[in-house]
Amino acid sequence: MEVTTGWYLVLGALIFTIGGVGLLLRRNPIVMLMCVELMLNGVNVTFVGLATEFGDINGQTVVFFVLVVAAAEVVVGLGILVAVLRRRPGATADDLVELKG
């Protein structure tokens, strides 16, 4: 069975959906952050798949931008989460409401 671009698109959609559902259902902030990463990478797979299909390098270029933004986001997000969890071990995302002004 030949692996076509459609397979990659389905894979990307699956990863994106897993991430989205996980983000909505889980309470652990670190897991939620990981779910966001999953969603981003689901999109990345789609980009790369379509870039190969159309022979257009731009799709792969965008992926690099997404990776960089994701890395930056993780640095900031993890920094905040670690600081919160150190103060209150086992805090859920809902407990983060105390950061509201």
Partner 1 sequence: MRVLDLVWLIPAFPLLGFVTLLVLGRRLGEPMAGWVATGAAGGSFAATVLVYFAMLGEDAEERTHELVLFDWVPAGGLEVEAGFLADPLSITMCLFVTGVASLIHMYAIGYMHGDEKFSKFFLYLNLFLFSMTILVLGNNMVLTFLGWEGVGACSYFLISFWFHKDEAPAAGKKAFVTNRVGDFGYMLAMFLVFQFLGTLQYVEITEKAGNLASTSAAAITLLLLLAAAGKSAQIPLFVWLPDAMAGPTPVSAMVHAATMVTSGVYLTARMNAVLFQAPDWSTDIIAWVGAITALIAATAAVAQNDIKRVLAYSTISQLGYMFLAIGLGAYVAAIFHVITHAFFKALLFLGSGSVIHGMHDEQDMRRMGGLLKVMPFTGATFIVGWLAIAGVPPFSGFWSKDEILLFAWEQNIPLAIIGFVVAILTAYYMSRQVFMVFFGEPRWDAEIDGEPPEHEIHPHESSPLMWLPLVALAGLAFAGGFINTPITKDLLFLEHFLEPVFEERQIFLEAKGGEKLIFGTFATLTAVVGIVMAAQVYLRRKGKGAVEPELFENAWYIDDTYAKVTGGPGRQLFDAASTADQRVIDGTVNGVGTLVRQLGQQGRGTATGLVRNYAIPIAIGAVVLGGWFLTRASF
- Report the interface residues with partner 1, using CB under 8 A: 20, 23-24, 32, 93-94, 96-97, 99-100
CA Rg value for the chain: 17
Q: Both tokens of residue 7?
A: 């397979």
Min dist CB 25 to partner 1, Å, is 9
99 DSSP 8-state letter:
G
* Of 29, 38, 42, residue with least CA distance to 78: 29
Min dist CB 97 to partner 1, Å, is 4
Min dist CB 84 to partner 1, Å, is 13
Q: Both tokens of residue 37?
A: 């990463």
Min dist CB 23 to partner 1, Å, is 6
Choose between 1 and 99: whose C-beta lies nearer to partner 1: 99
Choose between 24 and 57: whose C-beta lies nearer to partner 1: 24
Choose between 27 and 72: whose C-beta lies nearer to partner 1: 27
Distances (CA, A) of 3 to 8, 11, 70: 8, 12, 28
Choose between 2 and 94: whose C-beta lies nearer to partner 1: 94
Tell me if 37 sits within 8 A of 74, measured CB to CB. Answer: yes
